[in-house]
Structure formats: structure tokens, C-alpha cells
Amino acid sequence: MYEDAFVYEKNRFEDDGGLRTKSYLLQGEIDKPWLKKKDWRDRATWWITFTMIWIGIAASAAVCWNRWATVLLIKEPLCLVMQDDFDTFSVDHEGATWMREVDMSGFGNGEFEMTTNFDNNSFVKDGKLYIMPTLTSLAIGQDNVFNDFTFNITGCTNTKNFEGSACGAVSNQTSKTVINPVMSARLTTQKSHSIRYGRIDIRAKLPRGDWLWPALWMLPVDNKYGPWPLSGEIDIMESRGNDIRYTGQGSNVVRGSLNWGPTVALNAAWRTFGFWFDRRKSFANDFHIYTMEWSPEFIRMSVDNRLHKMLELRFNEPFFTRGDFPAVIENGTDSITLPNPWASGSDSTPFDQPFYLIMNVAVGGTSGWFPDNLGNKPWLDNSGTAMYDFAHSQDTWYATWPESPEDRAMVIDYVKMYELC
């Protein structure tokens, strides 16, 4: 009977062309694999697999715990020193939070803007502060920027005269001197608030436009160890307004750094800087929180959270040692032993004194922030006519500046300053 049934099903399978794949176990012993002795290699494979999974979980947990346990934190309590939500604009009066620096000097960077106290360059609207660059030609006429015009800025605050005239300029086509082609603003808390160790949070949206240079940074109140860079500079955030395709790091990159050194020529900022970037979008698209945390043990600059750190530096060795400076330098025609300007301080010196906050949008410059020959840069830093060349290419770069203040300006939602209590 079984044989007949097998033949019948076989014939059915062949008759329908093999379209059905039904099988029957009609004779012989039934296979019972659970009764067989297991292969030790199968069991070993099982144990190896699950052991590796558990090792991976344990290792991940250990790494996470170590990161959490070793993260640098300010352990002392912090006290709020200043908070500005820009419901009003407290500026340029006795007891004001902000002072607008009025200056045409270029601030030691050969910058092409003048900073003003004009309300179209810095103003508050809808609870936000705008620092917005504008064309000088809109105020004095395009011809006067280039041709035989004397311009003296109103309310000049410069007492240091960084380079040339800080409060006025004369344009001349023959000598290729121009009036600073852009007006912008630079606001500081120098006369109101400073901190020595603490935290700063600034929620801001960066400007868009070629050769714009937005910055949130700090300078020492008293220059305890001498003029720049001996007393240091803290750059909480710097960026560039150029498109994200700009090969010199465009508006999708933000950078934090420290400037310090025993002389201007030996500024060692290249040893203490870092950056955070977004591959696909600009920091001009949205608001971000730029944070500086600073204690006697460390300093950190980050964007939005501690995982997005631009710079984190432990104060675990003297800065003079960190700089690896030459033992001997040239002083005119003489060679002298390089003195240590921070010998009397600690491992955090010169960053152990009160610093005040600065917020500004610069334009261009000859300091190297915009490297030569990148992004169709219309000037060379060492040309001697850099500002003139920049001004003459206005039609090119101004076309990249949005008309809307929301996009052209650095827009600041709030500023919070804390100090160790």
C-alpha cells in the first residue's frame, strides 16, 4: 500500500511538470535529531558568540562610565553676574551693560570695517540683538570712498591707535587709500561686567556673506602680564560667513581658541585651538548656544552641548613650558634670553585674571584668518593695497550678503555670564 501511494504521488509530481514540491516520508525510520548527541563545536560556537556580546556590552558600559567619570566639570558653585535677554538695549550710557567701540583702526588684524555707534549697525528688535554690517557708500557715497574725501568718525573711542589713524581716514585714488568700505559694530562689557573663572552662554545665529567674520570673545580687563598677547585672549567662537563650500572653512565651521605668547611674533594660538563642524548645513541657518566653561583646572568651548567641544584644555603645565618657545630671541640687533612673563603665576596663567566679553562682526582683514588664494579672495594680505582691492571688488562680495537683517547680521538671543561664587 505504501509503495503504491509513493508511486502515485511521484507520478502526480511528474505529470504537473514539477510545479509542486510536496514530499512524503512514507517508509523508513523517522528522523529524531533531538535524540542525537550534540556536536561540541556547535555548543562552543554558541558560547563564544554570546560571550563576545556580553564582553561588548561590558566594554561599552565601561567606556561610557569612564567618559562620564572623567568629564571636566566646574565643581564650585556659579553665581549669575549678568543676563541680557535684549528686551531693551542697554548701551552707551552710564551704567549700561554694553559699550559700542567706535574705531577705524582695523584692531590689529587689518580689518576692512569701521565699527560705529550707529543704530543701523547694532540694534535690538523683537527681543534680539542684531550686529549688522552695512556699506559705507550708503552713508557717504561711493565716490567718496575712493576719491579725495576726508572722513572722521563720530564718537571715536580708540585710545590705543592700533595702526594708522583710528578715528579718521582720507581717500585718494592715486595712493590707493580708501575710507573703510564697510560699517559694522563691536560691543563689549569692558565697563560693566567681567569674570575670573566661570561660564558664559550665548545663544546666537551667525551671519551669512563672503568675508564676514563673526566673533564672541574675551580680553583681560587689566592686562596683568603685559600687552597682547602676554595677558591672553579667549575666543569663545569665531567663524566665517562664506558658503560651506569655501575651502578655508566656511559658515559650517565654528572655532574656539586661546591666544597667548611672550611676544606678538610668538603668539602660540596654533597650539590651543579647535573647531566643530556640520558637514551639510551652516551655523547661519539656526540659533546655537556657544558656551565657555573656565576654572583653575581647565577651559572648554563648546556648541550646544559638551559633546560638541571646539576646544578643551587642561591647565596641567605652565604655559611657558607648553609653548616650547626658543631660549633666545632677536631684539633688534641683539640676541637676548627670552624671559618667562608668567613665572610668578600658576598653570592657568595668564588665564587667571578677569576677562570681559566682546561681540562683533568684522569684515576681511590681513591677519590670515582668510587665507590667500582661497575662495576667490579679492586681496592679498601683504599687498599694501588690501583694503583698496577689497573695496574695488564690492560688486562681487556684496552680492553674497543677504538683504534681510535676520540673515546678514549676527543675531543674539541672550547672553548669560556666571562667575565662581
Whether residue 6 is predicted with pLDDT greater than 60 in this model: the reply is: no
For residue range 184-224, what is the model confidence (pLDDT) as tens digits? 999 999 999 999 999 999 999 999 999 999 999 999 999 99
Give the residue from 67, 92, 115 where a domain finishes: 67
pLDDT tier at 17, thresholds 50, 70, 90: low
Whole-number Å distance between alpha carbons of 240 and 258: 18
186 and 232 in a single domain? The answer is: yes
CA-nearest of 167, 195, 271, 184 to 229 is 271
25 and 121 in a single domain? The answer is: no
Full 3-state SS string of 2-48: HHHHHHHHHHHHHHCCCCCCCCCCCCCCCCCHHHCCCCHHHHHHHHH
DSSP one-letter string for 112-138 = SEEE---TTTEEEETTEEEE--EETHH
DSSP one-letter string for 329-354 = EEETTEEEEPP-TTTTS-TTTTSSS-
Query: What is the percentage of the chain residues whose pLDDT exceeds 70?
Result: 88
Among candidate residues 101, 111, 113, 233, the one labeled active-site is 233
Q: How large is the average pLDDT for residues 76-105?
A: 97
Structural domain contains residue 72: no
Residue 238 annotated as catalytic? yes
46 and 146 in a single domain? The answer is: no
Give the residue from 22, 48, 67 where a domain finishes: 67
209 and 321 in a single domain? The answer is: yes
Asked if 395 and 243 count as a contact pair (C-beta separation under 8 A), the reply is no
58 and 105 in a single domain? The answer is: no
165 and 212 in a single domain? The answer is: yes
Q: What is the dihedral of CA 355, 361, 366, 369, to 10 degrees?
A: 80
Whether residue 36 is predicted with pLDDT greater than 90 in this model: the reply is: no
63 and 99 in a single domain? The answer is: no
For residue range 279-322, what is the model confidence (pLDDT) as tens digits? 889 999 999 999 999 999 999 999 999 999 999 999 999 999 99
397 and 323 in a single domain? The answer is: yes
One-letter amino acid of 234: I
- Residue 43's domain comprises 2-67
Residue 113 annotated as catalytic? no
Q: What angle do CA 182, 126, 94 make, to 5 degrees?
A: 70
Q: Which residues contact 189 (CB under 8 A, 6 or more apart)?
A: 82, 97, 98, 99, 356, 357, 358, 417
Whether residue 181 is predicted with pLDDT greater than 90 in this model: the reply is: yes
Asked if 241 and 212 count as a contact pair (C-beta separation under 8 A), the reply is yes
Mean pLDDT of the chain: 90
For residue range 357-411, what is the model confidence (pLDDT) as tens digits? 999 999 999 999 999 999 999 999 999 999 999 999 999 999 999 999 999 999 9
One-letter amino acid of 368: G
CATH of the domain at 297: 2.60.120.200
Asked if 196 and 299 count as a contact pair (C-beta separation under 8 A), the reply is no
pLDDT tier at 60, thresholds 50, 70, 90: confident
Structural domain contains residue 73: no
Structural domain contains residue 388: yes
85 and 232 in a single domain? The answer is: yes
Burial string for 76-85 (b: 16+ CB within 10 Å, else e) reads eebeebbebe
63 and 83 in a single domain? The answer is: no
Cβ burial of 231 (10 Å; 0-12, 13-18, 19+) is buried
For residue range 244-254, what is the model confidence (pLDDT) as tens digits? 999 999 999 99
Q: What is the dihedral of CA 253, 183, 399, 173, to 10 degrees?
A: -120
Whole-number Å distance between alpha carbons of 315 and 349: 9
Among candidate residues 101, 111, 113, 238, the one labeled active-site is 238
Number of structural domains (the chain) is: 2
Beta bridge partners of 410: 131
16 and 131 in a single domain? The answer is: no
pLDDT tier at 63, thresholds 50, 70, 90: confident
Give the residue from 67, 86, 114 where a domain finishes: 67
Q: What are the DSSP E strand ranges found in 147-220?
A: 149-152, 168-171, 182-184, 186-188, 194-195, 198-205, 212-220
31 and 100 in a single domain? The answer is: no
Structural domain contains residue 400: yes
Whole-number Å distance between alpha carbons of 170 and 364: 20
pLDDT tier at 25, thresholds 50, 70, 90: very low
Structural domain contains residue 101: yes
